[in-house]
Amino acid sequence: MTSEEPEDGSGVIHRTTGGKPRRSFQSFLIGQPLQTADAPHQTIGKAIGLAVFASDALSSTAYATQEILFILAAAGTVAFGYVFPISIAIVALMAMVSISYEQTIHAYPDGGGSYIVSRDNLGEMPAQIAGASLLTDYILTVAVSISSGVAQLTSAFPGLYAFRVEVAVALVFFIMLLNLRGVKESGIIFAGPVYFFVTMMVFTVLVGLVRVVSGTLGQVVDPPAFEIGAALVPITGFLLLHAFSSGTAALTGIEAISNGITAFKEPRSRNAGITLVWMSVILGVLFLGISFLTGQIHAIPSEHETVISQLARTVYNGRNLFYLATISATTIILILAANTSFADFPRLSALMGKDGFLPRQFAFRGSRLVFSNGIAVLAVMASLLIILFQASVNALIPLYAIGVFMSFSLSQAGMARRWWKIGHLAEGVEVKERGSVLRYDSRWRVKMLINGFGAVLTTVVVLVFARTKFFDGAWLVLVIIPLIVLMLSAIRRHYLHLADRLSLNNYNETPPVTRHRVIMLMSSVHRGSLAALNYARNLSEDVTVLHVSVDPDETERMRERWETWGNNVRLVILESPYRLMFQPVLQYIEDILTVRQPNELITVVVPYFVPEHAAANLLHMQTASTLRKLLSHTKNIVITEVPYQVD
Amino acid sequence: MTSEEPEDGSGVIHRTTGGKPRRSFQSFLIGQPLQTADAPHQTIGKAIGLAVFASDALSSTAYATQEILFILAAAGTVAFGYVFPISIAIVALMAMVSISYEQTIHAYPDGGGSYIVSRDNLGEMPAQIAGASLLTDYILTVAVSISSGVAQLTSAFPGLYAFRVEVAVALVFFIMLLNLRGVKESGIIFAGPVYFFVTMMVFTVLVGLVRVVSGTLGQVVDPPAFEIGAALVPITGFLLLHAFSSGTAALTGIEAISNGITAFKEPRSRNAGITLVWMSVILGVLFLGISFLTGQIHAIPSEHETVISQLARTVYNGRNLFYLATISATTIILILAANTSFADFPRLSALMGKDGFLPRQFAFRGSRLVFSNGIAVLAVMASLLIILFQASVNALIPLYAIGVFMSFSLSQAGMARRWWKIGHLAEGVEVKERGSVLRYDSRWRVKMLINGFGAVLTTVVVLVFARTKFFDGAWLVLVIIPLIVLMLSAIRRHYLHLADRLSLNNYNETPPVTRHRVIMLMSSVHRGSLAALNYARNLSEDVTVLHVSVDPDETERMRERWETWGNNVRLVILESPYRLMFQPVLQYIEDILTVRQPNELITVVVPYFVPEHAAANLLHMQTASTLRKLLSHTKNIVITEVPYQVD
């Protein structure tokens, strides 16, 4: 390696293979650290990709129909006839959004979430709005999916109802651990359950339809009590739009693939695009099937038994093995659906961190090649929501999906703008933008129309949301998203300000150091402090050892030993009869500052013991950190901890 | 100052006057930092001493009688006749313990708590048991006093009952802040309320007695519901002993003065001794008076109205101004009683920290000359207890007082042992022990008998406690105290082990450093990193700058700038395509270690920005701390953060 180092000061490329694995409780929980060379293999194919990215979208069939019913219930059971027409409208919207996103995936092979598309085509502010909306909705996805999963569980085992919040929070942390292990291993874990769910639901819908046709499907036996407020409201356009808004929760998760293209095997865009189409078709079929059958069996929306549970026990004639299989499949996919957010939230916050809108720490991978900070933040925020809303899907749903639809609008508006730019390029010209390459496409007008129509449609949906769900809780999201945007801007400003202050424009070379004074703190003379003294003497000729005297006997012992071991270094004893530790040292340093020469450096050396067990650190003063805080605004003072390994 | 520094290496006494005051939110809450020179004035006279140290003992009259009634209630109202006889027994015990402690105060003018007396006369293990018992009971004192104070409040204003836990926790933190301000200011705050309480209670008891004699004192009007379990138990010796155990809560706090002698003005022992006698007399008179009147008015123990409240509204014929004055005085003194523990817990933990049984940090004073760490720990632990037991005095009382009585026994056994040693000294001989001076005293036999009798008596009480209150919760304390003792021993072992490893026996002078290699991390070239480079070049000729390359464009910019600003220092670029930060650096350092010469030093220099607001630290990687943790077990590597003030 030394041979690689030229003496002329030019840069040398030095390749590394990453840190050494260590065994610890952490590695037991999240696995051995992966070497960097492993990273390229961490990509996934279409089948596993569907499992990882589609679980959110597919799982929303477990609650979307029910949430439509909850709103319609205000007008009495007679309004339930509108469930199927509303569902058809939602599936049409879904088809539109999917086509729109399929175009995005091919335009942005490196990942084209709303944030990137808005940033590259619409500018910084729309990008921040898209980012804030998505981050909010990822958190809500975890809270809603887990809450709904637990609701399925409590439908089958009502005894668990009292512990729903605890169970939900425990599940969030379980998924967090899975994700800290890395994306591929998580993918394998999720593939089985997702396909099990798809199989079970398709089977349930098919059996249900056959029984409808053969006229043997009855109504729900012992339906849950129909809970309805004081007076029935009439069936108005507003009510139907409100129901439609709640039902659009079915669309959340459709954008997941466009954010996660880089996780796919090559050819990425193609694989991701095909996965998106599969996903939308399965989602549409299941959602329509469930909504249709729900009407046939006269299911009742309830906090105590989910519509899926009512459907399954009607189709299968009771709480038998088929019922239990359907419920477990639904429970598991909902729990795993949260996983989509655990793949996307960290990826998005890494992007935004790299752009300086979030703390840069989000942009760095942990030892398992995942963005650990984002994963942890998501788990904590989602748990808080679950606790706050007592794991009730019905209470969470008014907050849900607004963010996603805002990001849909921005993303599609950005794509429309992009096609416009492409249409005005000369043929054969290529323009490189940050996230993609612009190349002339003769079909730009059609494509622009598709994305533009999608943008208008989803904007209308956002307005419908804001109007119909405002007082149910949507106002909270409409307050929080601007606050997040403010925070993002403030962070960005901080980084810009910092860059400005650190800029080398008009910079004069730092004048050479005239004097380097080393001050060392020593409470007693022993192997550790003598090792630190050795270090201090290596830094400079000018070393002063300070001893804060809190106990005359100890000080006397210190002076005696100093004569033997002090190597003639200057010792200054600071009296502190009232057992104050830092004030005498600070006062001494302040006195020195008054006589400091220009360009004089001061290094304060603090001996520090490294105990075998980290817990023993609690038994020692954190002298260096405290001094560092106290002196952080004084220029040209460096605090250095010199470690001494006790064992 | 420079003139004070001789060049011959001998020690110089350098006097300081402490740190400079700074204005901050912290100083708004807890006051300006005090200079060390202010410390001697922070002592108190007898009148304020009574207020500071007696509030705990006196305030126990607010619940002791009631807790006797709670136990007797199991045998029905007929058992209430035993309240007064049991109270007389408790007051007799109290007189005995007071006389015992009066002797201790004179023997230990520097503070003679159970811990010191046990340590000096019985040895390390008894000292640890005494320490653990006292620490536990100080925490319980805060929890019980605050809970009882809030109970008085909710007796007068039943609407507050639902918020009792929140109110109690808020009060604990209020007292914590008062105490962080320092003992004298706290003393002045407490003097008024304590004397107001003594006046009001003496007045209430006198009026009550006059009305009894004149035959005009009736029974409680509308007493609270008499809540009693299924079957009445007979009045047995066990029941009476159980009631006696609960009532001895009245004695807690009596030892406070002996722990806090150093807070008194000179002559300390005399002032402290007189204060103790005053306190005991007031306490005994009030307790007997209240117990007697409680029987007269047929008060009923209840969670919803305290016995004091029932007594006050019977004596004063209703909830009038006198009633409110009595209740407020009781509430306030109970709330302030917790203050005794806030004076003693930190003092004891400082002592134990100095002896190496607790982290040494407890032994150092904060900027207001109080032991801030102990104060904070006490507040947190007491709040946890209050939350756990929902601020119910009746639920807390079975845990209470065992610790105090264990420490009484040990302290008095220690004193007895001490008189025995004194009795066997020759006349005129003085033996200096750690905490006191032994001098022949002709009356040693009487004094030994007094302390010995006290020790036997309190040991019997501890056994009665353990037997009668075991299943009510005392078992918890009997489990926790040994656990604390184990912890104390482990801490002590750690310090002893450390001292052994650091000892200079068989120590060979560290060989001189052969090479000092400086490695500097640099993410980009700017004012901050160039300042750090300047520092690095001052440390050694051998400087290598490491750049972790996560973005090729950034790296290219870095290389270009390095040619202008790099001063020909060697630059090594570490590739990290997957955005890992630390692994490449660790790998590089590991490679270097394999070629390291013996006695070679490595210093890793990390540039660090000091933002104007501490919150902005969240936006930067804590690179140095992370590296320090990762490399803490590697020998001869020092991590140095070089600060750069951005604004």
Mean pLDDT per 10-residue run, chain B (647 residues)? 43 45 49 48 78 85 90 83 92 92 87 86 92 92 93 88 89 87 63 90 94 88 73 82 89 83 84 92 94 91 89 91 92 85 84 87 66 86 90 87 89 92 83 78 88 91 87 86 92 88 78 83 87 89 89 85 87 80 86 82 88 74 81 86 84
| Residue among A518, A570, A634 with most chain B CBs within 10 A, to mutate | A570
- Predicted pLDDT at B520: 92
**Chain B hits for A616, Cβ within 8 Å:** 494
Query: Cβ A18–B580 below 8 Å, yes or no?
Result: yes
- Measured between alpha carbons, how far is A637 from A516 in angstroms, rounded to an integer? 10
pLDDT confidence of A366, banded at 50, 70, 90?
Answer: low
Beta A430-432 vs A437-439: how paired, if at all? antiparallel
ipTM above 0.95, yes or no: no
Contact A365 B578 (CB under 8 A): yes
Residue A409 in this model has a pLDDT that exceeds 90: yes
Contact B535 A581 (CB under 8 A): no
Distance CA B87, CA B93 (A): 10
Does the structure show a pLDDT above 50 at A317? yes
Indicate yes or no: CB of B360 within 8 angstroms of CB of A619: yes
A566/B33 touch (CB, cutoff 8 Å), yes or no: no
The CA dihedral of B77, B80, B82, B84, to the nearest 10 degrees, is: -170
**Which residues of chain B are within 8 Å of residue A360 when distances are taken between CB atoms?**
619-621
Task: Tell me whether residues B568 and A9 touch, CB distance under 8 A.
Answer: yes
- Hey, what are A255's tokens? 């954008």
Query: Has residue A126 got a pLDDT over 80?
Result: yes
Q: Assign residue B473 a region: left if phi > 0, alpha if psi is -120 to 50, beta otherwise?
A: left
Residues of B in contact with A527 (CB under 8 A): 501-504, 507
| Nearest by Cα to A403 from A333, A458, A467 | A458
Q: State the pLDDT at residue B289.
A: 95
CB-based contact B575 A20, cutoff 8 Å:
no
* pLDDT score, position A437: 81
Q: Which of B11, B19, B361 sits opposite A582 (nearest CB)?
A: B19
> Nearest CA to CA, how far is B495 from chain A (Å)?
9
Record: contact A595-B559, CB cut-off 8 A: no
Q: How far is CA B333 from CA A139, B196, B274, in A?
A: 48, 9, 21
Q: Sign of the C-alpha dihedral, residues A407, A408, A409, A414?
A: positive
Mutate to test the interface with A, among B1, B587, B613, B644 (most CBs of A within 10 A): B587
| pLDDT for the residue numbered A287 | 95
8-state DSSP, A228: -
Match 């302040």 to its residue by tokens: A590
Cβ of A36 within 8 Å of Cβ of B640? The answer is no
Q: Work out the end-to-end distance of chain B between its first and last CA atoms, rounded to an integer number of angstroms.
A: 32
- ∠ CA B535-B539-B545, nearest 5°, is 65
Cβ B399 vs Cβ B470: under 8 Å: no
What CA dihedral angle connects B203, B207, B209 and B215, to 10 degrees?
A: 180
Residue A25, pLDDT score: 53
The whole-angstrom separation of Cα A479 and Cα A484 is 9
Domain A41-187+233-282+335-492 shares a fold with domain A515-645: no
**Angstroms from A209 CA to nearest CA on chain B:** 50
Q: Which residues of B touch A495 (CB under 8 A)?
A: 619
Rounded distance, CA B410 to CA B127, Å? 8
Chain A residues in contact with B574 by the CB 8 A cut-off are 14-16
Please report residues of B whose CB lies closer than 8 A to that of A33. Answer: 583
Are B619 and A494 a contacting pair at CB < 8 A?
A: yes
Terminal-to-terminal C-alpha distance of chain A: 32
Out of A5, A565, A601, whose CB is closest to B538? A601
Angle at A269 between CA A132 and CA A457, to 5 degrees: 50
- Quote the pLDDT of residue A326: 93
Average pLDDT score, chain A: 84
Chain B residues touching residue A559 (CB < 8 angstroms) = 11
Closest by Cα among A168, A176, A173, A174 to A147: A168
Distance to chain B for A326, nearest Cα, Å: 41
Average pLDDT over residues A508-514: 72
Instruction: Give the sign of the dihedral formed by CA A191, CA A194, CA A199, CA A202.
Output: negative
At which residue do the structure tokens 């007076």 appear?
Answer: A231
**Residue A560 burial (C-beta neighbours within 10 Å; 0-12, 13-18, 19+):** exposed
A256: nearest Cα among A101, A393, A128: A101
Cβ contact A265:A418 at 8 Å: no
Cβ-nearest to B527 among A364, A504, A646? A504
In this predicted structure, what is the pLDDT of residue A564? 85
Question: Alpha carbon of A534 to those of A394, A527, B193: distances in Å?
Answer: 67, 11, 58
For residue B514, count other CB atoms closer than 10 A to its CB.
11
State mean pLDDT over A236-252: 89
pLDDT confidence of residue B150: 92
Q: How far apart are CA B407 and CA B345, in angstroms?
A: 14
Q: Which residues contact B283 (CB under 8 A, 6 or more apart)?
A: B54, B57, B58, B60, B61, B94, B250, B254
CB proximity list for B394: less than 8 A, separation 6 or greater: B67, B70, B303
Residue of B nearest to A34 (CA): B583
pTM over 0.80: no
| CATH superfamily membership of B42-493 | Amino acid/polyamine transporter I (1.20.1740.10)
CATH class of B515-645: alpha beta
Average pLDDT over residues A314-340: 89
Residue ranges per domain, chain B? 42-493, 515-645
Instruction: Indicate whether A6 pLDDT > 50.
Output: no
Q: Report chain B residues whose CB lies below 8 A from the CB of A602.
A: none
Cα radius of gyration rounded to whole Å, chain A: 32
The two tokens of residue A39 are: 């990273």
Residues constituting chain A: 647
Give a three-class secondary structure readout of A538-598: HHCCEEEEEEEECCHHHHHHHHHHHHHHCCCCEEEEEECCCCCCHHHHHHHHHHHHHCCCC
Judged by CB atoms closer than 8 Å, whether chains meet at A10 and B528 is answered as no
Is-contact B259 B36, C-beta < 8 A? no
- Interval A362-378 mean pLDDT: 74
Is it the case that residue A308 has pLDDT exceeding 50? yes
Residues of B in Cβ contact (< 8 Å) with A499: 526
Among A410, A507, A398, which residue's Cα sits nearest to residue A115?
Answer: A410
- Give the pLDDT confidence score for residue A229 in this predicted structure: 59
pLDDT band at A24 (very low <50, low <70, confident <90, very high): low
Q: Which residues pair with A639 in a beta bridge?
A: A604
B146 burial class (0-12, 13-18, 19+ CB within 10 angstroms)? buried
Q: Say if the Cβ atoms of B364 and A643 lie within 8 Å.
A: no
Amino acid (1-letter code) at residue A518: V
Of B9, B620, B645, nearest to A633 by CB-CB distance is B645
> Are B638 and A635 inside 8 Å of each other by CB?
no
Taking CA atoms, what residue in A is nearest to B356? A619
Query: What is the spatial distance between Cα A579 and Cα B474, in angstroms, rounded to a whole number?
Result: 38
Q: Which candidate in A36, A506, A568 is best for mutational testing of the B interface (most B CBs within 10 A)?
A: A36
Is the torsion defined by CA of A160, A161, A164, A165 positive or negative? negative
**CB pair distance less than 8 Å for B616 and A494:** yes
- Confidence class for position A15, pLDDT limits 50, 70, 90: very low
Joined together, the tokens standing for residue B7 give: 């060049």
Q: How far is A388 from chain B (nearest CA, A)?
A: 19
Give chain B positions within 8 Å (CB) of A9: 562, 566-571
Say whether A645 and B635 touch across the interface (CB within 8 A): yes
Measure the CA–CA gap between B306 and B66, rounded to whole angstroms: 7
Mean pLDDT of A375-385: 91
How far B19 CA lies from chain A's nearest CA (Å)?
A: 4
Taking the CA of residue A442 and the nearest CA in chain B, the distance in Å comes to 33
* Chain A residue at shortest CA distance from B640: A640
Nearest CB among A19, A502, A616 relative to B582 is that of A19
Size of interface A-B (CB pairs under 8 A): 277
pLDDT of B35: 46
Say whether A227 sits in a helix, a strand or coil: coil
Q: At what angle do helices A237-247 and A83-107 cross, to 10 degrees?
A: 50
pLDDT given at position A19: 42
- Indicate the residue of B497, B510, B591 with minimum beta-carbon distance to A530: B510
Q: Cα separations (Å) of B548 from A240, B380, B580, B589?
A: 57, 43, 9, 13
- Is B498 within 8 Å of A646 when comparing Cβ atoms? yes
Partner-chain residue, chosen from B572, B616, B638, that has the shortest CB–CB distance to A14: B572
Domain A41-187+233-282+335-492, CATH number (from 2.60.40.650, 1.10.357.10, 1.20.1740.10, 1.20.120.530): 1.20.1740.10
A440, A429 Cβ separation under 8 angstroms: yes
Contact between A569 and B516 using a beta-carbon 8 Å cutoff: no
Whether the per-residue pLDDT at A608 is higher than 80: the answer is: yes
Mean pLDDT for A112-138 is 90
Among the listed residues B250, B259, B223, B274, the one whose alpha carbon sits nearest the alpha carbon of residue B93: B250
CB A121 within 8 A of CB A452: no
The strand pairing partners of A637, in sequence order, are A602
Please answer yes or no on whether A11 and B632 come within 8 Å at the CB atom: no
CB contact under 8 A, B18 and A583: yes
Flag whether pLDDT at A261 surpasses 90: no
Contact A583 B539 (CB under 8 A): no
At A432, is the secondary structure helix, strand, or coil? Answer: strand
A79-83, A196-200, A592-596, range with the lowest pLDDT: A592-596
> How far does the CA of residue B358 sit from the closest CA of chain A (Å)?
8
Cβ contact (<8 Å) for A501 and B527? yes
Residues facing B606 on adjacent strands: B641
Q: Length of chain B, please?
A: 647
